[in-house]
Structure formats: structure tokens, C-alpha cells
């Protein structure tokens, strides 16, 4: 069994090199002369030692860490986005540390303070919306490079942003639904989510452009404990119970709301879809990973999550390295792609 080494001092004695040399080796093996580097490498093979991740970084000019703040842990969309960010960060030579705001502005503020206290090189923030504390964001912006991803509150117009062109993506699926059937109703959410508001406005603009009268339902809060799926199910359950909207196209603000809508349809014996009888169609937005596996499979419009993750990391690295233009706010938007499945 290899002897266990707990500290750099013990490791220095065991291998026979100075502690500063060990520290330089863990920061960058190439910074140590060839024979000494090989001596350390062989010495590490003889002992059980795990270098302290933060200790090896705190003395550097850069920690090599990017902080990320996301609003939900139970949302597979953000899991997919985080995977894209981590992959891009690793390719750029950075480590990602993630904090979750749990839909709470106070927790979001604390997460920002935590990242600042860890001296991360930069941060990517998926904000809660206009309820985010702008003072915390200003303080973080003064301390380190940071930018917004996925959602861009009106309170932070001068912060770099990478996300989806919701006018294009929502317009794309609204136009499709108008083409294959009657003009769709828009199943919204309470107007506290920035992306939800943008999509609602995009729906209204597209239907107006096509000469149809927009019709928005579900914008009122039913229960503060209900989010997404429960909200979508409750709204349509009320309408279906009164015999309303049974044969309409329904465009949901996002896929999770649409999944709730599909459940409401099933409870009332309704089968939405292009090939189904009755005329009911249900569609969403985002291409949530479960969409191909709902019954029926959900028609939606996909966000280019991989491109968003890669572009956000690329821009942040430019900012960290001082390659971004001074006083230049960059907004980068990606188009959505229609995903035709059974539900509409």
C-alpha cells in the first residue's frame, strides 16, 4: 500500500524537492525543469496524494475557474445547457463551479457573492428575471467579467448576453400551426419570467402579422406552488371541463407547460395530434429532452443549446483575457429549429 501524504510539506520531504517547486509543478508542470519534473512525477507514483484544488490556484494570477448560476436543478433544459457550458469550458482550459438560485432572488444574490469570494475568473449567469437584484449584479460586474445566458432582464441592458431569438423561434412554430390548422391559442405563464414574456409578445406579433386575432390564456397565477407542468395542466383542465378549446391548436410557452397540457388532455380523453380526430393540437418551445417520449410525442421548437453554451464561454474567455472591446455590449442570438412530432 502506498504511504498516504496529507500536506505539501510532507510531500516535499518524501520526494526531496522544495515546496515552492512542488507548487509550481502543480500549477504548470512545464514551469519546472525536465529532470526535476520527472523526479516529482515518479515520486507522486510512489505515494497517495491529492493536491488541494483551490490551494494550487489561489496563488495564481488566474484561478482557471468559471462560475455558473442557474435557476433550477430539476429542469433538464438547464442540465443540457450546463453540459454545453462545461464541455466548452474544458476545451478552453477552465473548470466550472455551479451554483443554483432555486428561484429565490436572495439565494441568487448569495450565489453571486460566493463566486466572488472564490475569486473565479468570470461568471455566466442565468438570471431569475427582473426580480434579480441589480445591485448584486453591478457589484459582480465591478469585480469580475460576467455575462447573461438564456434570459436577459430589462434591468441589465448593458451586460453581454447569449440566448435564443424568441421572436424568430416562437414566430416559426406559430406560423407552422397557422399553416396546418386554425390559429393557435397561446398558453402562457404568469408574467414574471423574461423569456415567457418575450415569447408571448412574439406570438402576438406573428398572429397579428398573419391577420389573426391573438388569444392568450393562463397568464394569471393559479397557485404560487405550481410551476410549469402543474400550471399547464390546471389551466387546460378548467377550459376542457367547460367544453372549451377542445378542437383548437394550443401553443404553450414552454415544453414543461406543454407536458402539463398533454396530461390535461389525457384526463379528458382527448388525443392531440396531426393525425388524430377532433382537431386538438398541442405544441411547446425548447425541445426539452423528454419531448420525444411524451404521449403523443411533443411538437416543439428547439433552442440551439450547444451553440449557446459554446458562444457564452467563448465570449467570457475573451472578457477574461481582456480581448473584448471596452464598453462594448455584445448580444448574440441563435435561431430555433422546428421539431415536428405527433402532437401538432
Contacts of residue 319, Cβ cutoff 8 Å, sequence gap at least 6: 122, 145, 147, 160
Q: Is 28 a residue whose pLDDT tops 70?
A: no
198 neighbors 166 (Cβ within 8 angstroms): yes
Give the percent of the chain with pLDDT over 70: 94
Q: Rg (Cα) of the chain, in Å, rounded?
A: 25
* Average pLDDT over all residues of the chain: 89
pTM for the whole thing?
A: 0.82
Across the range 202-230, mean pLDDT stands at 90
Residue 309's nearest CA partner among 113, 62, 70 is 70
> Where in 3-100 does DSSP place strands (E)?
65-70, 95-100
43 neighbors 21 (Cβ within 8 angstroms): no
Contacts of residue 207, Cβ cutoff 8 Å, sequence gap at least 6: 174, 178, 183, 184, 213, 214
Write down all domains in the chain, each with its CATH number in brackets.
8-58 (no CATH), 65-164+306-335 (3.40.50.2300), 166-302 (3.40.50.2300)
Under the banding of pLDDT at 50, 70 and 90, the label for residue 295 is very high
* Bridge partner list, 161: 148, 331
Under the banding of pLDDT at 50, 70 and 90, the label for residue 129 is confident
Amino acid at each position: 500500500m502506498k504511504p498516504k501524504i496529507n500536506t505539501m510539506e510532507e510531500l516535499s520531504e518524501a520526494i526531496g524537492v522544495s515546496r515552492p517547486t512542488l507548487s509550481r509543478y502543480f500549477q504548470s508542470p512545464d514551469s519546472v525543469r525536465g529532470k526535476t519534473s520527472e523526479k516529482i512525477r515518479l515520486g507522486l507514483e510512489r505515494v497517495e496524494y491529492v493536491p488541494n484544488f483551490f490551494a494550487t490556484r489561489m496563488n495564481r494570477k488566474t484561478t482557471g475557474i468559471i462560475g455558473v448560476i442557474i435557476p433550477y436543478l430539476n429542469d433538464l433544459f438547464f442540465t443540457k445547457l450546463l453540459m454545453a457550458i462545461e464541455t466548452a469550458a474544458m476545451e478552453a482550459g477552465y473548470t466550472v463551479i455551479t451554483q443554483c438560485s432555486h428561484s429565490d432572488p436572495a439565494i441568487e444574490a448569495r450565489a453571486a457573492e460566493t463566486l466572488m469570494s472564490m475569486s473565479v475568473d468570470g461568471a455566466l449567469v442565468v438570471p431569475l428575471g427582473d426580480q434579480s437584484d441589480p445591485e448584486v449584479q453591478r457589484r459582480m460586474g465591478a469585480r469580475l467579467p460576467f455575462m447573461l445566458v438564456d434570459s436577459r432582464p430589462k434591468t441589465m441592458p448593458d451586460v453581454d448576453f447569449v440566448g435564443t431569438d424568441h421572436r424568430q423561434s416562437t414566430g416559426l412554430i406559430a406560423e407552422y400551426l397557422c399553416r396546418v390548422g386554425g390559429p393557435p391559442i397561446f398558453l402562457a405563464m404568469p408574467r414574471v419570467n423574461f423569456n415567457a414574456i418575450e415569447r408571448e409578445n412574439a406570438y402576438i406579433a406573428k398572429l397579428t402579422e398573419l391577420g389573426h386575432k391573438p388569444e392568450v390564456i393562463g397568464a394569471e397565477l393559479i397557485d404560487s406552488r405550481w410551476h410549469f407542468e402543474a400550471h399547464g395542466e390546471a389551466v387546460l383542465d378548467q377550459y376542457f371541463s367547460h367544453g372549451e378549446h377542445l378542437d383548437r391548436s394550443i401553443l404553450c410557452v414552454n415544453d414543461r407547460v406543454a407536458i402539463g397540457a398533454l396530461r390535461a388532455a389525457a384526463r379528458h380523453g382527448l388525443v392531440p395530434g396531426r393525425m388524430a380526430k377532433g382537431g386538438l393540437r398541442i405544441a411547446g418551445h425548447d425541445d426539452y429532452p423528454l419531448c420525444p417520449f411524451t404521449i403523443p410525442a411533443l411538437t416543439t421548437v428547439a433552442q440551439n443549446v450547444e451553440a449557446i453554451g459554446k458562444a457564452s464561454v467563448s465570449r467570457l474567455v475573451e472578457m477574461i483575457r481582456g480581448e473584448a472591446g471596452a464598453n462594448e455590449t455584445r448580444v448574440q442570438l441563435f435561431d430555433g429549429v422546428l421539431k415536428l412530432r405527433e402532437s401538432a
